[in-house]
Amino acid sequence: MKGLCVAIVGGGSGFGREIALMMVEQGVEALAIIDANAAAAAETCDLIANHGGAGHAIHADIATMGPAHAGFDQAVQAMGRVDSLVNCAAVYPRAPLMEITDEQWDLENAINIKGTYHMCVAAIRHMQTRANGRDVAGRIVNITSVDAFKAHPQNAHYAATKAAVVSLTRSFAIHVASDQILVNSVAPAGMATEKAKSLGFLGELAAANPLGRAAEPREIAEFVLIAASNRNTYMTGEQIIVSGGYVCA
């Protein structure tokens, strides 16, 4: 990650924050934390500074094209460029399959699908200005979920949006391959985040996993860092599934 400028959407808390702090450990030049929660983004940037890194907090509503693109533009202005984008923002309101409301569908689609789409478009337009047809011009990593690959009657609307992001990732990857922009996704299994702990999910996640436990966020973040870093020079359009065997089972 040394020398890279990275924008993390949804980096104000949870998994996005973990990714940011690990990137600081790996020598990233600068980070832009784009989040709908301005206070959370600022808190992450304080932690980045405490770890010796440079963070820029950016408040943006990614569900709408104009504000989403404006947020990305602020990241470019703050850091001078964006080498890698990590799309980590998502909402996860559980509901039984036969009881999902229009409001729940609209929220999931707005953040998980449209938000990811808007940020990819903004990043690609920026990265294309640096393309020379030879060197990697930029990298995008979309965080999906193992739920995109297995049935999930307790949260079908979330699973459907993550499957949509898998499809978007593939489409974007082919569209910009000639520009040497690499677009991949990382699909985690259930993680032992603070939110999962507070909602009481950990027992359920552990019981469903062949390894008998939920993943630690750092275990998944390792693969995000590889896909977003200079170490990735050839992988694009791929879905990196890190499930502890859950998808196989």
> What's the predicted TM-score (pTM) here?
0.96
Q: Which of 117, 158, 234, 246 is catalytic?
A: 158
- Is 158 among the catalytic positions? yes
Look at residue 200 in the predicted model and tell me its pLDDT. 81
pLDDT averaged per 10 residues in sequence order, the chain, 249 residues: 97 96 97 98 98 98 98 98 98 92 97 98 97 94 96 92 98 98 96 82 87 94 98 98 92
Burial of 98 (C-beta count, 10 Å sphere; 0-12/13-18/19+): exposed
Give the dihedral sign, CA 80/77/81/179: negative
Which H or E run includes 142?
strand 138-143
Look at residue 197 in the predicted model and tell me its pLDDT. 82
Question: How far is Cα 15 from Cα 41, in angstroms, rounded to an integer?
Answer: 13
Give the chain's domains with CATH numbers: 5-189+220-241 (3.40.50.720)
Look at residue 243 in the predicted model and tell me its pLDDT. 95
Look at residue 107 in the predicted model and tell me its pLDDT. 96
Residue 14 sits at the vertex; the CA angle it makes with 92 and 10, to the nearest 5 degrees, is 75
